[in-house]
Structure 1
Amino acid sequence: MAKKKTDNISAEIKARRIAQVADEAKATDIVILDVRGLSNVADFFVIFTGTSQTHLRAIGKRLEEHLEPEGICAERIDGFRATNWIVFDFGSVIAHAMLEEARQFYDLERLWGDAPRLSWQ
C-alpha cells in the first residue's frame, strides 16, 4: 500500500469509509471507537473481524484499491504476511483486522471501554 498523507480528510470520514469498505469485503462485527482524548496514537479505531488470514489480506487489498483513489492511504501496515491481526495505520485512524480468536483474546472494545462508538452505516 502507498504511504501518502491523508491529513486533508477528516479522521471521522476516514474511519467511516474504512468501515464501509471493510463491510463491502465481508468483514463482520465492525466497530468504530472514538478515542479522541483517550489515545495519543489516533483519533479513531476501526475494528473488524475476518474469517481467515486470506480473508484479512483480501480486506486489506480492498481497502487499498478503494480508498487510495480517495486519498485515504495507509502509512504503515503490520502483520500482513501471516497473522491473526493486521494493523493499518491511516494516521489519525488505526484499523484493526482480526480473526475472531484474536479479537476475543485482545478484546480492544473492553480495553477502550470509555471510548464512544461511532455509527458508520
Structure 2
Amino acid sequence: MTMQPRELAEKIAKIADDKKGKDILLLNMEGISYMTDYFVIASASNTTLVRAIADAIEDKLAEQQVFCNHKEGYNDGRWVLMDFGDAVVHVFLEEERNFYNLEQLWADAPSEEFKGTDDGE
C-alpha cells in the first residue's frame, strides 16, 4: 500500500496515541532534511511503554505492507528511532525527549501537535 508522507505521519501518530503516547508532534521536514518528509515525535512515561508504542507502530503498518527500514534503541527503550522512509519516528522516554529536545534542534520545521482521542484520562 502506498501512502502519501503526510498520511503516513498521521497514521503513525494515531497508532502512538492509541497506545497512550503523549505530546505527539509532527514535524514537516520537506525542504529541510533530505532524509525524510516527516518526523513523528512521541513520549512515554516508562521504557515498557516506549517499546509497546514502537511495537504497535511497526505491527500496524506492516499489516498495510509498510515496513520499517531501520530501527535503533529498542533494547534500551529510552529512545526508539524507526525509519519508514517518508516518516521517521522518535518514541522517547519523557526525560530523554526533554534532554535531546528535537523540537528545538529542528525549530525551522513547521510543527503540528497531534490532536488524538481524549478518553478522559
The normalised TM-score by structure 2 is 0.88
- SS of residue in 1 equivalent to 2:8: helix
* Corresponding residue for residue 21 of structure 1: 15
Sequence identity (%): 35
The residue matched to 2:66 in structure 1 has which SS? coil
CA shift for structure 1 position 71: 2.3
2:24·2:113 contact (CA, 8 Å) conserved in 1?
A: no
Measured against aligned partners, the alpha-carbon deviations of 1:21-78 in whole angstroms (never above 9, x if no partner) come to: 0000000000000011111111100000011111111111111222211222211100
Instruction: Please tell me the root mean square deviation across aligned C-alpha atoms, in Å.
Output: 1.4
Deviations for 1:84-110, whole angstroms, at most 9, x for unmatched residues? 100000011100000111111111011
Note the residue ranges of structure 1 that are not aligned, 5 or more in a row: 1-5
> What is the rounded CA distance, in whole Å, between the counterparts of 2:111 and 2:6 in structure 1?
12
Deviation of residue 118 (structure 1)?
A: 3.6
SS of 1:16's equivalent? helix
For 2:15, the aligned partner's letter is: V
Aligned pair partner of 1:65 in 59, 67, 75 = 59
SS at match of 2:39: strand
Residues in 1 aligned to 2:109 and 2:27: alpha-carbon distance in whole angstroms: 6
Moved over 2 A (4+): 118-121
Matched residue, 2:98? 104
Which residue of structure 1 aligns with residue 42 of structure 2?
48
The structure 1 residue matched to 2:33, chosen from 35, 39, 46, is 39
Superposition TM-score, scaled by structure 1 size: 0.88
Q: Which runs of 5+ in 2 are unaligned?
A: 116-121
For 2:8 and 2:112, the matched residues in 1 are separated by 12
Q: Secondary structure at the match of 2:82?
A: strand
